[in-house]
Structure formats: C-alpha cells, structure tokens
Structure 1
Amino acid sequence: MAAIDDLINQIPDVSLRERIKQEANRLQKNKKFGLVYEEHLPECTLLYGVKIKAGSKVALKSKRINKIFRVEKVEGHNAICNQSGTNATKKIPLEQLISIAEFGDPIYPYLKKIDSVSTAPKSNPWHELIEADNYHALQLLTYVYRGKVDCIYIDPPYNTGAKDWKYNNDYVDANDSFRHSKWLSFMEKRLKLAKKLLNSNDSILIVTIDEKEYIHLGLLLEEVFPEARIQMISSMTNKKGSTRVGSFSRRDEYIYFVFLGEASIARSNDDMLNFENKKISSKTIWNSLLRRGADGSSRRENPNLFYPFYVSKGTGKILKIGESLSLNESRNKVVAPDGCRLAWPIRSDGSEGRWQISVDTAKQMLKEGTIKSGRYNKKTNSYAINYLKRGQLNDLKKGILVKTGIDNNGAGIFEYTNQALVNAEPGTIWVKESHDASVYGSTLLKSILPDRKFPFPKSLYAVLDTLRFAVGNKKDATVLDFFAGSGTTLHALNLLNAEDNGHRQCILVTNNEVSINEANSLKKKGIFPGQEKWEKYGIARYITWPRIKCTVLGVDTKNKKLTGNYGTHTTIYKQDTVDTLISKKTGKILKKKFYVKEEKDDYPLISNIKLSDGFKTNVVYFKLGFLDKTFVALGTQFLKLLPVLWMKAGSIGECPSIANDTALPNYMILPKNKFAILLNERNYHEFINKISDDSNIETVFIVTNSDDAYREMISNLEKKETYQLYKDYLDNFRINIRG
C-alpha cells in the first residue's frame, strides 16, 4: 500500500486525490486474510407443492435453473412472468413452472411423513430421515435442535467433477476464476448453520474429504470455527489404491475433527494401526514424572519444579520429598542419609531438568499412593519417578480405574475395570482392514440392496470407529449427518447403540436427486422432478430409506434374510491342501490349491450380532415441504406442523397425527410423546389443570397471538419448556438466514 499511497499523493487534483484515498482505505480494510474466494451466485431450491401466484419466484421444470422468473399475475392456466434483470414479460403454462426459493429467501418448512419402521416402540428417541435440500433442512433443524447436537458427521461432495452419481459432484462454475469458489461458497453456508446446531460447550464436527479440497476445507473450518481445536486424520480406505496416471496411487482420505468447548475423543483400546484388538498392559497406567522434550523442560525455565525424592536403596520406597531449590543453589548441597538415594530430575544428557508437578502436589500424591519410584538408573545413580497423570486420576474418581491393593512400598496397585475404556492414544494415521470401502462399503451395500447401485459408499466400520471416538462416552448423544448418502451413519450408530446399549439419536438429511443418466432418460419420457415416477429413483427413496429399513429388519430389498455377522472380516491365511490333476487334453500335471478362510474378530462386542437380527430401534422418514406464512399465521397449517412440534419436543414415541377430515381439538395432551398443545385459548384453565402436575409432559406449545396472554399462561409452567405458536415458528424463519 505504501507505493499506492505515494502514487495517490502525486495526483494534482486535491478533490480527486482525497476521493481515491478514501476508496483505497476502504479496500484495504475489506481485505480478507486467509481463505479468499468468490462469493457465489445464490443457490436455488425447488419448492414442490407450493402454489404459484403473483409475486412467486419460478423456474422452468425441464431446464437447469439458470433463469429465474417472477410471476406478475396468473391468468387461467398460464402465468405472466418477468425474467429477473429484464423488463420483458412472457406467458408460460403453469404446468411447465415450479416455485423456487433463492438462498436467503425466508422459507416456512414443514414435514410430511412418508414411511416409518419400528422394532422397539418403547425405545426413545426416534431416528429421523429427512428428504430435502440440506440447506433448508438445516434451517428447519435450527428451529428444532439449536445448540443441542453432540456430533455432526458429514461426507460432502468432493468436487471431483463427476456427474454420474446421485449427488452432483461438480461444484466448478465457468464464471469462477478460482475453480474452488462454488464449492467453498456451497460449504460455507452449510457449515455456518451447522455451527448453530452444535453444542458450543461440548461437541464435535467431523468432515471427510479427499485431496481435491482438503487444503481449502481446512482453511474454511479455521475461518468458521476460529475458537475450535482442529485435527486432521489420514485414513486408509482402499488398500489396493486408486490409480492416478503419472502420480501416486491414492489409498486414503482425510477426516477433520473439529472440537468445540470441552469436547475430547472417547477412550478406546484401538490404536487404529493394527488389524486386531490388543489388550493394554497395566504398566501403561504409570507415567514418567520427568518432563521430556526441549521446550520448558529445563530447571532454569521452571526452578520451582526442581526438588529431590528420597528413595530407599533396599526397597525402592519413596521415604520423603524434599523442597525446591532456587536457581543459585546447587543440588550437591543436599546429602542423602545412609541407606537412601536422591532422585533428581536429571535428563538423559546429564543436564538438570524438572518434574511435571509441584512439591505440594507430589507430597499429596505420595500419601494417596499415586506416585512411586521406578527403575534404578546407574548412570544417574538414581531412581526414575512415576506417577498417575490427570487423566488417570479422573478415571480413578469415575471408577473406571480402581485401586485393587497396595504394594510393598505403599504405592497403589491399579487396574482398569473395562479394557475397552483404556486409552490407547490413537494417532492421526488410521490403517485398518475393516475400513476398506470396497469390501465394507460397496460389497456390504450390494448384499443389502442387490437390485440397486450406489457408488462409493463409506465402510460401515470406518464410520463406526469415527463415531465411537466422537460419542462413545455419550450414550444419549444426538448425531446429525446432512450429506447422508446411502445412510451409513445411521447404520453405524445403530451398531454403536447395540454395542453398549446406548440410546443415541441419528438425524439424516439427503436430497432425492437422481443420477445424470437417469435424469436424461426420464426427461426424454416426459417425466420431470416432482412426479412420482421421477421421485422413486431418487437417492432418498431408492437407496437411503431402503438401506435403513432393510438393516433394521435384517432383510435385503428382495425380503431375503441377510447373512453373516457384524464386526468380522474374512481373510485367507494359509494353504490347506493341494490336489494333483492330469489334464485330459495335454496330459500335463495340474495342481489345484485349496485355502482355508479365517473369520477375524475386529469388533468383539458386536461380532455375535447377525445381520439378520436387525436392530431394536425406530426410524421415521419425512419429506420437507414449504408453507405459505399467511396460512401458518391463521392457524390453518397445524396438521402439517405437528411433526415439527414432535421433533422440537424430543422425537419421543411415534409421531402423532390427525386425519385431514378431522376437526381440530381444543388441545392435545400427549403423555407418550412428552408434550401438549393448547390450540384454543378459551380452554386454558381446563388444559392447565390437566398438565401442570403431569410429570410426563415436558414441553408445552400454546397457540396465541397475544404476547401478554402467553406470558400469563406460562406463569404456572416454570418446570416445563414452553413455546408460543405460531409466533415462535414464524420468527425463526422470518429472519433472512444466511448462516
């Protein structure tokens, strides 16, 4: 900027010079540091079922949405439309048009039940599949789950340019000078909404990606979640590799973990580098008290942590702990009594280091038996000192680690009550045979959906392991996946619940797009989006929901029982026999080898679960639609909003419904669903008498246009969650939500 300022100062016209200075300063202040890309043109969503009227935004059904029209008026079966940015009008048949919403337009969503499967009606909460554009689904979910989600796991499009699968994976626009702009703009909008859903005090966002966008995604995550701790995992997904001509074969993908608040990974006995579970030795409980490494490990940097331990020569028992020495005091002035050695924090190169805890803490731990002497070192003429870290002390308080006795020197003997809870400190590189997407993704999915194709599904066990780290210690967690694909996330979460008797809830969101080839074929037949013959081939109805339903019931799409057990994989491990044969044609000796296959048990807690067992769980399938806000305000859309209220109340019990031809009641009390609704204010006293002391009712919705009346009516409901309809709903969506 200095050179530009110098040039500006050379402009003789004072007025012009000042104007240019002001503009230059403005541009400098608006400069973005970090990730820079073009904000992309607004996205559009097709609003099926929304009536076209004057003022509606519409597009042609049969074409890509690159032309947006605004309806000036409707004349019979035609709409008089004005194309955005022009004054020209055009008459278009209504049957050729569809209502649309651009990014940022207020929308008023509702949920229409499509199907459900229930094998444990008393189990709560219910899982949910929502068929929708995920941006508008996220807007709805901010009304229902704001700040309540424990984990979001997403596998977004990788921007490879592919157009032959059920998500358009091409996010490069011809108008973008930076090929990643459209994809980044697409992701940013969704990540900003996702942030509103996550519990800011304790939650984890997980995003998988490949080499096309991992750098840009990392920068975007840093920008959207500046307060978070972020780590990236490299996970092997294909041991054979995906060929890149002239380049390295790709065998892995990347997984970003974004930790919010106090979130941390759950404990595991798996270091993610081996193919079999290994038990953790009890020796790993104890840790060296000597601070290692270069930074902050010298006596000079932390003189208060330089003090001696008095250790018995005969038994190795710590007899007492001395006081810290100042920097100008030599350790040689401290003399050990007969039969005793001094243990100082001396590093391997002979220099003076420091301990990791204070004198007072060490003395307290000595009383508790959580610090002890270790191996004698002839080089330093001293004993190593070992202690329990904060993590082990927390485990001791929780009962995960238990004190089973005291050794001869007074130190505690500790054991973990469950080896599955021992921290094996998994690293950032995962290499597991069960994560092979070709076998435990594609092949597994083919066995469930034998008559359908879906390319590149995730390995079930890769997702299971990822979720276990995120919510393994939260049995009532809420998990969201808004790029649901084939539904692997719910499948994996059902397995995790089966493994530890958890009650985690999963919310899946996917659109109902069809592949490019299918779309072209259907359009040639005069079949377009929104029509039943089109919709049945979309990803939600053709892949995601069938997988969910089949895995819950333990059958494939042909209603045949699934075979095999979860948590195992088959591998050839040895040659068993060889048969010698003689060819009848050539007379040559032929040898036929036979191999024995072995079932390896990678997940012992679920390896006794047969795929044919299915799962004891409940799932409901909704399609997201859009309402006219005027009719919502008038209260005529209650039937359509009931599933949204059910979700807001916790998705407990089967979603209630009322027949379209049934008159609305004055109020609804739904103890099995844990909520109640007052629809007619005149029945308030009768309503309040029935619910005020009912512990089964946890959420109350009150329909009233008066804020004062609402405040008065909830004055007796302090212990219950209350909402004012339809104000609460309309206010949430009236705001122009841009993330």
Structure 2
Amino acid sequence: MAAINDLINQIDDLELRERIKAEVDKLSKQKKFGLVFEDHVPECTALYDVPVHVGSKVALKDKKINDVYVVKAINDNQATCVNAQTKETAEFNVDSLVSIAEFGEAIYPYLKPIDSIENATDSSLWHTLIEADNYHALQLLEYLYAGKVDCIYIDPPYNTGAKDWKYNNDYVDSSDAYRHSKWLSMMEKRLKLAKKLLNPADSVLIVTIDEKEYLHLGCLLEELFPDARMQMVSSVINSKGVSRGSEFFRVNEYLFFVKIGDCSVSELPLQDQWLGNIKTSTTKQVRWGSLMRSGSGSDRKDSPGCFYPIYISKDKTHFCGAGEVVPVGVDRNTVAIPKDVIAIFPIRENGTEGRWQYSREKYLNLQAKGYARISTQTKGKKEATIRYISEGWQKRVESGEIKVTGTAVDGSLIFDDKEYEQKYIPGNQWWIASHDATEFGSKLLTKLIGKRFTFPKSLYAVHDSIRFFVANKPNALILDFFAGSGTTLHAVNLLNAEDGGHRRCIMVTNNEVSDEEAKKLKKDGFKPGDPEWERLGIAHYVTWPRTVCSIKGEDINGNPLKENYGCPMETYSEIDGEVTDPETGKKIRGKVYKKIKKPTYPELEHINMSDGFKANAAFFKLGFLDKNAVALGRQFKELLPVLWMKTGCVGLCPKLEEGSLPSMLILPQNAFAVLIDEHTFPEFMAKINDEDRIKQVFIVTDSTSGYREMISHLSIKKSYQLYRDYLDNFRINTGR
C-alpha cells in the first residue's frame, strides 16, 4: 500500500488524485486479511416430517440431497418435477421423494422423542442426545441456551478423505480450487453459532484435529474468537503410530483450547507421567522457601524498596518487627539497630547484597498471618535465616486444602499436610498412557457395543481435557455437536461419579451410515429414511447404545461390565528380592523389579463399570414443523420437549397423550408450567404463585399487552410468550 500511495501522490491533477485515493481506500477496506477460502453453501436439510405437495422443494431419497427439484404437479402418487438447476422435467414416485429446505429458508424445529434411559429416578439430571444435522441443532440450541454453555468439546471431521463414516471425513469438494475450502466453510458456519452459545464471562471451546487441517483451523479460530486466549496442545493418542504411506507415522493429534472471558486452566492432582520435562515442584509437603530472592532481579539495586532489616530476638525464637528501608547508597552497617534484637539483612553467602521477596509492608503482613518463620537449620551453621511459604501455598492454606494444627513459638503456622494432594498445570505436550485411542477408545467401545465404530476417542483423553476446565464447576453445561460414538457424555458421567457433580451434557450427531453399510442397503433396495437404513445410522447404532450401556453398566447383550474405571496400566515396582552377583554367580539379597498393574486414576478405581452411572438421558430426533400449524397451536404436543429443554431438562420429559389440549400444564416436577388457554389465567395464577417448584412459565397468547399484564401478576421471574417467542426465534436459516 505504501508504494501505491507514493505513486498516487505523483499525480498532478489534485481532483483525480483525491478520487483515486478514495477508491483505493475502499478497496483496502474490502480486502479480507487472514484465512481466505471459498464460501460453500451448506448441505440441504431433509424434512422427513413435512409432506410432499405441489410447490415443494424435494430431493430423491437415494440420491444427493443437493440435487433439488420443484414439484409442479401430483397425479396418482406420481410427481412431475423440475430440476432447479438444469430445468429438466422428470417424473418420480412421491414415496421416493423427501421435502428439503435450502440454506436461507426458514424452517421450524421440534424434538421428536425416540428413547430414554432413567437410571436415577431421584435425580433431576437429564442428558440429551439429538439426532440432527448439527448446523440446525446449533440454531435450535442458540434459542435454548445462548450464552449459557460452559464447555464445548468437539472432534470434527479431520478431512482425510476416509469413507468409514461419511459424517467424519467427506468434506472435500473435487471442484475446489483450494482443497480446504468446503471443510473450512462447514466449520466456520458451525463455529459462529457455537460462539453464541458459550458463556462470554467464563467458558472454553475445545477442538481436536490432526495435521491435515490444524493450521487452517487455528487461523479460523483466531478470526472467529479475536478476544479469546488460545493454546494448542499436542497429545499422543497412539504410541505405536499409524502408517501414513511414505510419511512419518502419526502418533499424535492436536487440541485447541479457546478460553473465553475469565476462563483458566485448573490445577489438578495428576500422576507423575503428566510432569514430563516441566520443572514443577513435586513436594507434597508445605515448602518453606528462603525469603531472600534468588535468580534474576535479586540484587539490592534491582528493587531498593526490598532492602531492610528484619528483627528477631537474641535467642532467635521471636520476630521483633522490621526496620525501615535502607536507601541505595547508604551503608547498611551505619543503620542504628535497636537493643536486644538481631538484625537480618538479605545478604548472600558470598557477602553480596541481595533483596527480600516482598516490600516491608507486605512482609509484615505475611509475618502477622504466620506465613514466615525463623530458621536456624542452615547447613549446620548457627546464623538464623527467614523462610516463608509462597502465595500458592498460602492459597491452599486459606482454602482449607492444608490443615493448620497450631502455632510455633515464633508465630509461624504449624501444618498437617499428610492428606494434601499435589495439584499443578501440566505442559502442552501430553504423552499419557490412558489417552491411547486403541486401548481406551476402540477396545473399550467394543466391550460395550461390539465393533460398530472406527477410531473413537479415549474415554480418559476426553475426561482429562474437559476436567481441566469444569473441575470447579459441578453444574457445568457441556456440549458436543460432533458427538460420534458418544465419548463426551460418557466422560461427563465419569466426572460426576468422581466428584459428585451435577454436570449436564448435550450431544448432537446425525444418523449417517458407514460407506460399506450404505452400499449394502442400496443393494437391498433401501433408501435414507427407511427404518432399515436409519437403524444402522450412527445415532441409533452407536451413540445411543453406548450411552445406554455405560449408564446401565452392561454391554449390548445385557451382560454386566467386568472392569473398574481408573485405567489400570502395567508398571514396575522396586522390591526386595534375590539377584545374581555377576562376579561370583551367587544369589544375594538385592533390589528387583516386579511388574504390577497400577491405576492411572486412583480416584476412579473404586468406580465399577458394572454399577453404571446415577444419571438419565433422553434421545430425540430433530424434526421440522409447518409454520402456520404452529401459529394456530396445532402442534403444541410436538413443541413440549423443546420447552422442557429450554427450562433446563429438569425431570423426565413430559408428554401429552393424543386428544384435546388441557387449558394449562402445571409441571412442578419439571420446574415449569404452560398456560394454553388464556381465559383460565386466574386459576393458573393461583396455582403458580402457590407452587415454589415452578421456576419458568410459558403463556400462549397473541396479545403482547395481554401477556405483559398476565406476567405482572406472577411471582415467576422467567416467562415466555408463545407462539410469538417460538416463531420469532426459530426462523433458523433465514439470513444465515
């Protein structure tokens, strides 16, 4: 731009010069800096619940859904259709067609109950699995939980071109000038919606990826989350390696952690394998360090305000205050010292002058709290030194992690740290045995449901990734909209069992079948939408069975699971035994190593897989309603699960039997109520104001002023107007 501006300035005609400057300025503002890619239109959406009629946009069930036709006429179950692109006319059987919605068209979702598992009747904790294209599910969730999600964990398609599950790896378009465009376009649209769901004050987005797309994903995340703090971790998921032809074997994958607002990594009690090369103190006892600073910036001149005498009694048992700061240039030996005290300056063993860790005021506060002590145990010497505990240890004391049992003569605290568990934050290179995707992903899943899914994540890899951010959030809301085999919900249940948490998980997955299964089904004459086809889709065949089995504690055949959680791993322990002397050949007593199985997670080893989890889960399919029918209140029954989710999934999802609608629904077990007939408001008001368990209400009325008048008489803080609220918020796709 600088060169262009120089050339423009050489133009003699002032008016022409200014006009060209203005146009160049416009162009510079339009240029897209950063990641540049072709913007692809997302896949069309099949509307299996919407009947095919004249004027419908449709696609053939057994063909590409993006091949769009418009129905011009229907006679004797034969539809005359015009191809939207080629304008060619064709005749199809109506049963072979499915209604579709293209990107940009308004569609109105509902949740169709498929199944549920209730393993904790006394708990209000309900997880949810939604079978849907995740783009539309995210738009539904935006209405339900905008700004309320604490953690999103996703394992999106890696764009390798594999065909084992279409859902995972079929996002490269052969017509792309840039082979990553379609994948990036798909991810961008979903991440934009995900951003709206995350709590702006404190939340995290976790995305796993391999080397095929990690560079592009990183740039995309930086563009979409400019105010967030992002870090990438490399994690070994297969120590044996996966062959990549003539390339290096792949042993790892990458995790992007996008931290929103005040989100930070929690210190956790971790096994030694997490340490790696990180220089982290492994002491499990309170460490009293020297109050004199060491390392860089430790000279007197580096911090003049931290050079002053600390006074202790002659017998070296009591603190006696501190002298004033000795200014730079003043010899410490000229400072007057009170009688009957010893003055201790920050002087190194070689006689040079250092500095204290804290200013005089901060030191006195530290000493008053008992965090400083007098030590005379310095390498056998008789000189006294001042020791203290760091701010990290102070926090552990004040939080109750370290017990205080008394006070020493000098006023310093006495601790009982026998039960203290060391906590720390690991480095960004994870080589953790329990993260092996074969042992604790594929093999674990096979024990539950058989060989139905390739390359699931290690249960413990997901458990750990999430735990670093929700360990201190027992009521966190966690979302996975690329749910795959359902590892995320399994991990959330394990976290809850570990610490008694009440975290809730929402999973979203479509119901694609594997490429191999699709070929078999087509050969047998089945099409997408047929029960035989849907039964083998990922949601019905993998995600939900895994969820049910893990909650019930049994395999797909009803047999109890035999192992414990905690990931037993083989290790070696040094014990006393007999060894052979290499010089004499005689047996002598010595140290030998014995192979043992040691749990990677001692805190989990008491959790038996056969016990399952005290949790409940509901399985829904995302469907779409006719706008006019909704506005007329004809499809309230279908909307009830949406209202249940909006109010927090409390209790078993309610349902209405066929027949006429009641005038109101009072559902204290679900913590919400619905006024369906506004003429019965006085009765509704009396019941609501007398029921403490009702936290949210929905009022069906076309009158906004009438709605406001009614809610003014209710003691409920959260209320919604139906169906205006629904129609205004569920135009999912319009202008997207």
Give yes or no for contact 1:111–1:644 (8 Å, CA) kept in 2. yes
State the SS of the aligned residue for 1:734: coil
Distance in 2, Cα, partners of 1:653 & 1:232:
38
Cα drift, residue 547 of structure 1: 0.8
Change (3 A) 1:166 1:43: closer
Distance in 2, Cα, partners of 1:16 & 1:93:
65
- With the length of structure 1 as denominator, give the TM-score of the two structures: 0.87
Cα drift, residue 372 of structure 1: 3.8
- With the length of structure 2 as denominator, give the TM-score of the two structures: 0.88
Change (3 A) 1:537 1:29: same
Change (3 A) 1:636 1:283: same
| Aligned-partner residue type, residue 712 of structure 2 | S
| Amino-acid identity (%) | 52
1:1-44 deviations in whole A, cap 9, x for unaligned? 24445667899999998876555332211223333333223332
Distance in 2, Cα, partners of 1:244 & 1:345:
60
Give yes or no for contact 1:478–1:504 (8 Å, CA) kept in 2. yes
State the SS of the aligned residue for 2:52: coil
Distance in 2, Cα, partners of 1:297 & 1:106:
66
* Correspondence for 2:388 among 359, 382, 386: 386
Partner residue of 1:611?
Answer: 609
1:505-554 deviations in whole A, cap 9, x for unaligned? 11111111111121122223221111111101111100111111111112
Change (3 A) 1:136 1:312: farther
Matched, 1:137 2:134: no
Give yes or no for contact 1:172–1:182 (8 Å, CA) kept in 2. yes
Partner residue of 2:531?
Answer: 532
Query: How do 1:325-344 and structure 2 match up within 5 A?
Result: 334=335, 340-344=342-346
1:156-176 deviations in whole A, cap 9, x for unaligned? 111122122252413222233
| Aligned-partner residue type, residue 498 of structure 2 | E
Partner residue of 1:656?
Answer: 654
Distance in 1, Cα, partners of 2:12 & 2:68:
48
Distance in 2, Cα, partners of 1:415 & 1:42:
60
Distance in 1, Cα, partners of 2:240 & 2:569:
17
Give yes or no for contact 1:273–1:429 (8 Å, CA) kept in 2. no
State the SS of the aligned residue for 2:468: helix
Change (3 A) 1:738 1:712: same
| Aligned-partner residue type, residue 634 of structure 1 | L
Matched, 1:439 2:436: no
Give yes or no for contact 2:689–2:715 (8 Å, CA) kept in 1. no
Cα drift, residue 312 of structure 1: 6.2
Cα drift, residue 52 of structure 1: 3.0
Query: How do 1:556-575 and structure 2 match up within 5 A?
Result: 556-571=555-570
Gaps of 5+ in 2: 576-592
Matched, 1:677 2:678: no
Partner residue of 1:128?
Answer: 128
Distance in 2, Cα, partners of 1:214 & 1:32:
21
Distance in 2, Cα, partners of 1:706 & 1:79:
41
Distance in 1, Cα, partners of 2:574 & 2:20:
82
Partner residue of 2:368?
Answer: 367
Distance in 1, Cα, partners of 2:348 & 2:646:
60
Change (3 A) 1:14 1:336: closer
Distance in 2, Cα, partners of 1:73 & 1:297:
87
Distance in 2, Cα, partners of 1:210 & 1:168:
13
Query: How do 1:217-256 and structure 2 match up within 5 A?
Result: 217-256=217-256
Deviates more, 1:364-373 or 1:514-523: 364-373
Give yes or no for contact 1:497–1:503 (8 Å, CA) kept in 2. yes
Give yes or no for contact 2:459–2:491 (8 Å, CA) kept in 1. yes
Partner residue of 1:283?
Answer: 285
Partner residue of 1:162?
Answer: 162
Partner residue of 1:499?
Answer: 498
Change (3 A) 1:560 1:411: same
Give yes or no for contact 2:563–2:609 (8 Å, CA) kept in 1. yes
1:371-421 deviations in whole A, cap 9, x for unaligned? 345675999x984643331x544444443333222234321123469634x
Distance in 1, Cα, partners of 2:619 & 2:440:
25
Distance in 2, Cα, partners of 1:199 & 1:35:
26
Partner residue of 1:260?
Answer: 260
Distance in 1, Cα, partners of 2:44 & 2:301:
63
| Aligned-partner residue type, residue 413 of structure 1 | I
| Aligned-partner residue type, residue 37 of structure 1 | F
1:181-211 deviations in whole A, cap 9, x for unaligned? 2222211222221121121112222111222
Give yes or no for contact 1:150–1:204 (8 Å, CA) kept in 2. yes
Deviates more, 1:320-329 or 1:170-179: 320-329
1:577-634 deviations in whole A, cap 9, x for unaligned? xxxxxxxxxxxxxxxxxx9973322222321222222122111111111111221111
Give yes or no for contact 1:347–1:353 (8 Å, CA) kept in 2. no
Matched, 1:631 2:633: no
Cα drift, residue 665 of structure 1: 0.1
Partner residue of 1:700?
Answer: 697
Partner residue of 1:51?
Answer: 51
Distance in 1, Cα, partners of 2:350 & 2:210:
42
Give yes or no for contact 1:343–1:383 (8 Å, CA) kept in 2. no
Give yes or no for contact 1:313–1:341 (8 Å, CA) kept in 2. no
Partner residue of 2:545?
Answer: 546
Partner residue of 1:149?
Answer: 149
Give yes or no for contact 2:571–2:598 (8 Å, CA) kept in 1. no
State the SS of the aligned residue for 1:523: helix
Give yes or no for contact 1:112–1:625 (8 Å, CA) kept in 2. yes
Change (3 A) 1:42 1:247: closer
Partner residue of 1:720?
Answer: 717
State the SS of the aligned residue for 1:440: helix
| Aligned-partner residue type, residue 443 of structure 1 | K
Distance in 2, Cα, partners of 1:321 & 1:74:
97
State the SS of the aligned residue for 2:730: helix
Query: How do 1:27-42 and structure 2 match up within 5 A?
Result: 27-42=27-42
Partner residue of 1:400?
Answer: 401
